[in-house]
Each structure stands twice: as structure tokens, then as C-alpha cells.
Amino acid sequence: MNNFIENNHDKFANGQFSRDLRGNSDGAESETQRDPVNVVGQGPDATPEEFPAPIGKLLGLMITSSGAGRATVEFEASARYANPAGTLHGGVLCDLADAAMGLAYLTTLAKGETLTTIELKINFLRPVWNAKLRAEARVVRAGKVVGLVECDILDERQRLVARASSTCMTLRGRLAEGRQLTMPGSALGK
């Protein structure tokens, strides 16, 4: 799918135009695309970073890339995270997808803004026992207040394990107070 500006009146919270970010296959930047938040270095020499929130640390989530409305988070599934049937618990897949989608949405926000997830939907498509999973999230649309994010979770054989979507809300001013984002130092410009 080609990138396009959906509506010249819809903007990212930082004042840039909203756009469909699902098919950025050519890698070319448009003048309407916000510069990415460089959470993790890109390319073959990039070093994964531990997801900074306590739940990310508990699960061992690793951020492998993020920026320009996209994020990739990896997770090592094992029997430790099994449900009573012996397969990976669906809540863990939700945590993985939510982490990746929240990080992707974060790249569309301006300084001083934060976010919250107001809806999350997931389809479980394949059982998992032990696997290295990769959640690839992309912002479909970032409006001034509400945005839509999608995420595919793939196993090491590139098989689709789950597909999720999330509605995120941008919080500013009083609504953002007390909601401290815990992100790697590079995301905060340090």
C-alpha cells in the first residue's frame, strides 16, 4: 500500500500531518512525516534495549527498533509463561503487542505529551510453546486526540501468531500530569 496523507486537516499531536503509515516500503521520508524518536539504533549493528517499564522487565521484552510510527519488540516464549493448557498465555501476547503499539504511538507525540491505551483487540492465530516472538507495530492513523495502531506478532519462522489493534489517546496538559513515561535514555534525548 502506498503512503498517503489522509486529510490535510488531521495532524499529529506535534503539528505534523496525519498519514497512513502502513506501507512505508520504499523508506523515503515525506515532508509531512515527523522525524522519528530514536529509541534504538537502526540497521544491522543496532543493539536491542530492555523495555524500561516494570512489566517489560518482568517479561524480558527487548526493543529492537522504533521511530516514525513504528516499533519492534521481541520476546522469548517458554514454559514459564504457559497457561493451564501448556501454551503461551494470551495475556502475555497482549502485553507484547501493547508494548510495541504504545512505543510506536509514542513516536508520533510532541514533547510534554503522553498516551494511554483506551482499547485493545487481539486475534490469536497460532498456538505457541517455545519461540522467539517479534511484535511489529505500526501507527495506521495518529489524530489530534485518538490514533489507531496495528501489530503483527511473528515467530522465528515468520509465521503469524497473533494480530492486534489498539486505540490510543494522546494526553496533554492536566491530563498528562502524573503519567511519567519510562523510556530508554536515547528516547528522551539524553
15: left (phi over 0), alpha (psi -120 to 50) or beta: left
Read off the pLDDT of residues 84-132 as tens digits, 9 standing for 90 and up.
999 999 999 999 999 999 999 999 998 889 999 999 999 999 999 999 9
CA-to-CA distance for 41 and 77, rounded, in angstroms? 24
Is residue 188's pLDDT more than 50?
Answer: no
> Dihedrals φ, ψ of 21, to 5°?
-105, 10
Beta strand 131-142 with 70-77 is antiparallel
List of domains in the chain: 4-188 (3.10.129.10)
**36 against 168, higher pLDDT:** 168
pTM, whole model, 2 decimals? 0.74
Q: Are strands 131-142 and 160-171 parallel, antiparallel or unpaired?
A: unpaired
pLDDT, tens digit, 9 for 90 and up, residues 32-65? 233 333 444 444 455 788 888 889 999 999 999 9
